[in-house]
Amino acid sequence: MYIIRRAYQAKPGQGRKAAMLLKKITNIYTESGQRGETIVYYNGGTLPSPKNELNRVYMQWTSEVIDSPYREDNKFPDLGDVEEKLYQLLDDSDGPITWIEFWEEVK
């Protein structure tokens, strides 16, 4: 089993708004059958965390296999303008605004 975590760096004070938009995106992917249950979490500064983790938003899900999203039979769900709204809240001032991490679960 693989754990896939996508991270987003939101602008200061925009972590919660970004998390709410990201939750809408994960619901679209789940409803379209692209993914199973996905959790979204963030720290907007009200909880203890390393300074570089402030305003970081994560979405995380599990998968039996790691497939290319560009595989021939894959159809991307329509996200409307939600993704565009999310990207307006992301901080590109110091490094990437988003990245993806792959982890292998130990059972």
Domains belonging to the chain, first-starting first, are 2-67+76-104 (3.30.70.100)
Please state the rounded mean pLDDT for residues 74-102: 94
Write the DSSP string, 24-45.
HHHHHHHHTTS-S--EEEEE-S
Tell me the whole-structure pTM to 2 decimals.
0.89
Is it the case that residue 15 has pLDDT exceeding 90? Answer: yes
Is it the case that residue 73 has pLDDT exceeding 90? Answer: no
pLDDT bucket at 90, cuts 50 / 70 / 90? very high
Percent of the chain with pLDDT over 70: 100
Closest Cα partner for 82 from 36, 40, 47, 49? 40
